[in-house]
Amino acid sequence: MKLPQTVKGEFISEPETCSFRFKSFFRTGWKALPGSAGRHGNIIDGQHHLAADENWPKIRLENIQTEEQLLVARLVSNDCRRHMPAEEKTEMLKRLGEIYLSEGVEAEEIAYKIAEKTGMSYTWL
């Protein structure tokens, strides 16, 4: 199956552009990956697909219940699937750091804590 010219694997971060590209892609009828959401319906992955097509398949992961779990799941799933803009990654890492600080994790240990939770190298952070 040949994919439409609008989908070449490049990532466009502007939601309007993504929605346009995904809508073009939807006309092919091929829905490769479902979106994912945590227990409370917060989107983990696939927000552009779901914004462009309300009928896009979505799976609910009942084990993702807390904000920390949601952020870790977003970091891992998005980083594995696409290049994440630095601003997006920084925002999630900052929020995780705030959560861990509020739980009493020492500031100099936060990168190691995030690396442990995500399975990523602390140098990736």
Q: Is there a contact between 28 and 4 (Cβ–Cβ < 8 Å)?
A: yes
Domain ranges (residues) in the chain: 11-64, 66-125
| pLDDT value, residue 8 | 37
Predicted TM-score (pTM) of the model is 0.69
Kindly give the parts of the chain with pLDDT less than 70.
Answer: 1-32
- Alpha carbons within 13 A on the beta-carbon side of 43: 14
3, 17, 25, 65 from 32: Cα distances, Å? 12, 19, 11, 26
pLDDT of residue 82: 78
pLDDT tens profile 28-40: 555 667 788 889 9
* Spatial CB neighbours of 5, under 8 Å, sequence gap ≥ 6: none
